[in-house]
Amino acid sequence: MSKINEWQKEREKLNSTILAKEHLGIKRFFRLDTAAYEDGALDAKTKEMLGLACSTVLRCDDCITYHIIQGAELGISTDEFMEIMNVALVVGGSITIPHIRRAVERWDEIQKDK
């Protein structure tokens, strides 16, 4: 099983642990979060791009990985991916570089898994 798959399994397990606590507000937030990336006035692919850019400037590796997986499935190309990284780098500065390093590595892993 690839590193990405392991990461996904761990993520699912911990999400289940949170939801099993049955906190109504948290459950509703999780649903809002899912809904935010569904087709609407903007299509799902564009929304995943937004999520990926935001995750990069906010420097959250797990969030970046999640949006990379979703974005790759929705057809973001490598050139488009690098453009998103570039906007995030310019907006967020060199402090984002370690996250961009890991993002590009994971992107390449996903392309090989295809």
For residues 16-30, one letter each, b for 16 or more C-beta atoms within 10 angstroms of the residue's C-beta and e for the rest, the string is: eeeeeeeeeeeeeee
Distance in angstroms (rounded) separating the CA atoms of residues 24 and 60 = 25
Among 3, 6, 23, 113, binds its own copies (CB under 8 A): 23
Does residue 84 bind its own copies (CB under 8 A)? yes
Are 48 and 37 in contact by the 8 Å Cβ rule? The answer is: yes
Does residue 1 bind its own copies (CB under 8 A)? no
* Other CB atoms within 10 Å distance of the CB of residue 56: 24
Within 28-47, the residues that bind its own copies by CB under 8 A are 28-29, 32-33, 35-37, 40-42, 46-47
Lay out the site mask for its own copies across 51-70 (x = CB under 8 A, - = otherwise).
x-xxx-xxxxxxx-------
Calculate the CA dihedral of residues 100, 102, 53, 30 and round it to 10 degrees: -160
Nearer to its own copies, 63 or 110 (CB): 63
Looking at residue 58, what DSSP letter applies? T
Does residue 72 bind its own copies (CB under 8 A)? no
Applying CB under 8 A, the residues found at the interface with its own copies are 11, 14-15, 17-18, 21, 23-26, 28-29, 32-33, 35-37, 40-42, 46-47, 49-51, 53-55, 57-63, 77-80, 82-98, 100-102, 104-105, 108
